Chain A
Amino acid sequence: MTLWESLVRSDGRPSGALSDATRTVRLAELVEGSFLCGPREALRNRSVVLAIRDPLTAALAMIELDGTVRRMVLCPAGVASEHMPHVARTADADAWVSDAAGEPPSIPVAVQTEAVRVLRPCARDRAKSRETEWVLLTSGTTGAPKLVLHTLSSLISAFAGRPEELSPGRVWSTFYDVRRYGGLQILLRALLAGSLVLPDPEESIPAFLGRVAAAGVTHISGTPSHWRKALMTGAAETIAPAYVRLSGEIADQGILDALRAAFPRAVIAHAFASTEAGVAFEVQDVKAGFPEALIGRPEHGVELDVSRGTLRIRSPGNAQRYLGDSPALKDEDGFVNTGDRLELREGRYYFMGRTGGVINVGGLKVHPEEVEAVINAHPAVRMSLVRARRNPITGAIVTADVVLESPQPDTHSAASETLRENILESCRKALAAYKVPAMIRFVPSLELSASGKLVRRDA
């Protein structure tokens, strides 16, 4: 079934609407028109990069192209231009859709089309349809995005065919970009039943929340970092949702309590989901972590497993595979290893950071090795260990333990301070701000394992 077929009612027209700061589009408009220029037939069976800047325009293009194209690649805001040729080549792209502010084709393509903000009348043949591959981008180890392959059925598996998840009349909103997994989940839920208020990339949080309030949003989602930021504006209390969802980062007790206090009557739900593993579960008890009982008891086909302290998920919501030469997405048992470490305490599992030490700073991933390489390049440094430190604002921040070539007798002396500042300065020159250590500690030595590798323990 295509997305269009899933959202039309018995009268052949979809209900629902999408809105952003400047316009509202009723989905029924798509019956007689299109927001894409040129004949859509030219895009049939092609692999299309959606390099559209405007999120609402991108969402409309997804609805129009699902069932027609072979593959569509969703490019969220903030993908660096330098990575686009890699994305396009890995996706085997032969067509490109952008809008006025969007990215032009980075490789030669057979078909180039513009998505516009004004509906153009057009007749269309929806009879011929095919399954479209949906490709999402996620951050990779080297900075270049990884391409994750889904189908519509894997993307909607957490709610399709479940009436309790799709009661009509819900007005959804999300802080997420709808081209990222977390935002796409909300877009698809809203399309199947309800409507959606999209954030505008240029808009302040209070202005966005003002629209959310005015539209009577009932269900709203974001990462813990999105919510912390919203609470700090003081504008969060102006909205009155019935359901508040957190996903994408560890929801600690602090943010859950703050949301409970801000929205006393709402359901506060924190979900575990990732682009690769899909949606695994949702917990509504406003307590950090999740009950032990969720492990090993399949629900709606979603199986959770803890192997060597790490969460694994096998589910209809799993992505199929990575495109390109990335490692296998699933292990031999068909599970996606999430890389999230768990600890069991009194019948509840708690998230303890990630294996491989990837640090999540407010939703942005930092690979410790990248930061260590910069620090280690400093002439006064022998070696370093970069770790996460828990933080109530961004979930985590980066810190570094550094062993110097010639140890300083006093790590708080003026000479030490100068050296510390000097190392930080080289980090600021070479790294994005969120990757620069928040603090550097000089230590006499670092623990190495039997195989000679740095022992990594997350804070």
Chain B
Amino acid sequence: MNVRSTITSMFETVAREQQRQLAVLNDDLKLLESGLDSLSFALIVARLEDTLGYDPFESAESFPVTFGDFVRLYESSRP
């Protein structure tokens, strides 16, 4: 599975678990308007670290704002 589809399914899983209404995931979607809260993002980032083996936030220059930024951050940080 590529990085984007891993991330997409992680968003969907966590949204379901946290009982949150997830917006349609496209690259322009602002993360804060995705329907997820901080805790959901914390869970997504932790589980992506377990699945993908890295945490791009450790060396991130800036925080992602949109879903597209989020995916690019993971794609560009791939070891």
Residues of chain A at the chain B interface (Cβ within 8 Å): 204-206, 225, 228-229, 231-234, 254, 257-258, 261-262, 361-362, 389, 391-394, 397, 433-434, 438-439
Contact = CB atoms under 8 A, between A and B. Distances in A.
A232 B32 contact: yes
A122 B35 CA distance: 48
Contacts of B46: 389, 391, 397, 438-439
B39 A439 contact: no
Given A233-B32, A362-B42, A433-B39, 8 more contacts: A229-B32, A229-B38, A231-B63, A257-B61, A258-B63, A362-B38, A362-B39, A439-B46
Interface in B1-44: 18, 30-32, 38-39, 41-43
Contacts, number: 70
B63 to A, nearest CB: 4
A82 to B, nearest CB: 23
A204 B32 CA distance: 10
Report the contact-size class of chain B (Cβ under 8 Å from the partner): 20 to 34
Nearest first, the 4 A-B pairs at minimum CB distance are A392-B57, A234-B65, A231-B63, A393-B42
A231 B62 contact: yes
Contact of B43 (A233, A262, A397): A397
Contact of A232 (B18, B43, B47, B64): B64
B74 to A, nearest CB: 13
Interface centre among A258, A361, A393 (most CB of B within 10 A): A393
Interface centre among A257, A394, A439 (most CB of B within 10 A): A394
Contact of A439 (B30, B47, B64): B47
B46 to A, nearest CB: 5
B42 A391 contact: yes
A233 B59 CA distance: 19
B38 A392 contact: no
B38 A261 contact: no
Contacts of A234: 30, 65-66
B61 A394 contact: no
A248 to B, nearest CB: 15
A434 B62 contact: no
B45 interface: yes
Interface centre among B30, B39, B43 (most CB of A within 10 A): B39
B30 A233 contact: yes
Nearest to B59: A254
B42 A397 contact: yes
Contacts of A204: 32
A394 B42 contact: yes
Contacts of B64: 232
B45 A391 contact: yes
B52 interface: no
